[in-house]
Amino acid sequence: MIKKGDTVRFLNAVGGGIVSRVDELKKMVFVEDADGFEIPALERECVVIAAVNEKTNFPIKDFKTKVEPIIPKPSEVVIPERKPEPVFETPEGDTLKALLAFFPVDIKQLQTTSYECYLVNDSNYYLYYNVINGENDVWASAASGLIEPNMQELLTEISKDQLSSWEKIRVQLLPFKQGKNYTPQSVVDVNMKINAVKFYKLHSFTASEYFDEPALIVDINSEKEKEIENKKMADISPEDIKQAMFTKGETDRPKVIKHTQNSEIIEVDLHINELLDTTAGLSNAAMLQCQLDKFHEVLEENKKRKGQKIVFIHGKGEGVLRKEIEKLLKTRYKAYYFQDASFREYGFGATMVTIK
């Protein structure tokens, strides 16, 4: 309690002085400043300060005076209401798509630099994510959280010594939307393998639509499809594989409907006798060009159909057509994902392309 003669300073204003009188009923004190003016103030807005020893010029500590902190009443605290920002959605964003992107901190020192790992959410869904990595059956969560639609988020920085633990990772994604109706999406839970050697090769870091700088991009959806195909392959007996490897030419190629389309897949048979009624007078180069023209035509027709899967059946043969198709997919159509089509359905003679 402040009393007459105490030296005080104001809490909510500059200045102070010596208390000349106290009005206990109104909880007021009157403070005389250095110029002799008397200033009224609420007692709770003043604090007693130590007197100064005239000999030493140091404050004299007052062990009796206790200053109570001023705590505002709940009714006096105003918390501004935060309005959620509208979610930006894209026309193709209702197809779930997510990627991991790796950036070298110093791209000129690939042998020693560390790497930044980003999660890219290229969809209209919120994603709860959990990225697990490890080795020798010792696993731990490297990053977890929530990422907003059509956003990129830094997950972690990976040192050179930690790269080996990122060769085997597991990515879990739970998609949902807030405040609106939507079609539920399947939970993503995929085991992925990233060859650590890629981090030491400059050509592994390429340009993309998501970043201004070159990055090593890993498509999580494509890795999920690979995992499914690998499981199918695991169910194939060694006798089936041996028979397919020693089957020659066109004898046992799959019989499929030419350019047949359903809700999930388009099958295109590129065997020359399926494309032309006769090959009389045509050179091998001319027939190859005819097959490639059909390949370009189908991709052009479906370029706006995001997520569409197309199986091109080219047969085994000597592999010339297959090599040309792969070359085009790695250069002209490098934005698309491709892989060997299902062995059970097409043997070794087909490539599946996914429009991105």
**pTM strictly above 0.75:** no
**CATH code (residue 66):** 2.30.30
Q: Are both 115 and 193 inside the same structural domain?
A: yes
- Tell me the pLDDT tens digit for each residue of 140-183: 899 999 999 999 999 999 998 888 888 889 999 999 998 888 88
- Tell me the pLDDT tens digit for each residue of 323-343: 889 889 988 888 899 888 887
Residues 178-194: b if buried by 16+ CB within 10 A, e if exposed: eeeeeeebeebebebeb
Q: Are both 243 and 220 inside the same structural domain?
A: no
Confidence band (pLDDT; 50, 70, 90) for 255? very low
Let me know if residue 241 belongs to a domain.
Answer: yes
Of 24-28, 63-67, 82-86, 174-178, highest mean pLDDT: 174-178
**CATH code (residue 273):** 3.30.1370.110
231, with CB counted inside 10 A (0-12, 13-18, 19+), is: exposed
* Backbone Cα Rg of the chain: 36
Number of domains present in the structure of the chain: 3
Q: Are both 222 and 248 inside the same structural domain?
A: no
The pLDDT assigned to 353 comes to: 92
Let me know if residue 139 belongs to a domain.
Answer: yes
**What is the average per-residue pLDDT within 82-108?**
84
- Which residue range is the domain that position 27 belongs to? 7-76
Q: Are both 54 and 138 inside the same structural domain?
A: no
Let me know if residue 108 belongs to a domain.
Answer: yes
Q: Are both 223 and 279 inside the same structural domain?
A: no
Q: Are both 49 and 103 inside the same structural domain?
A: no
Domain stops at, among 21, 42, 76 = 76
Let me know if residue 86 belongs to a domain.
Answer: no
Q: Are both 328 and 247 inside the same structural domain?
A: yes
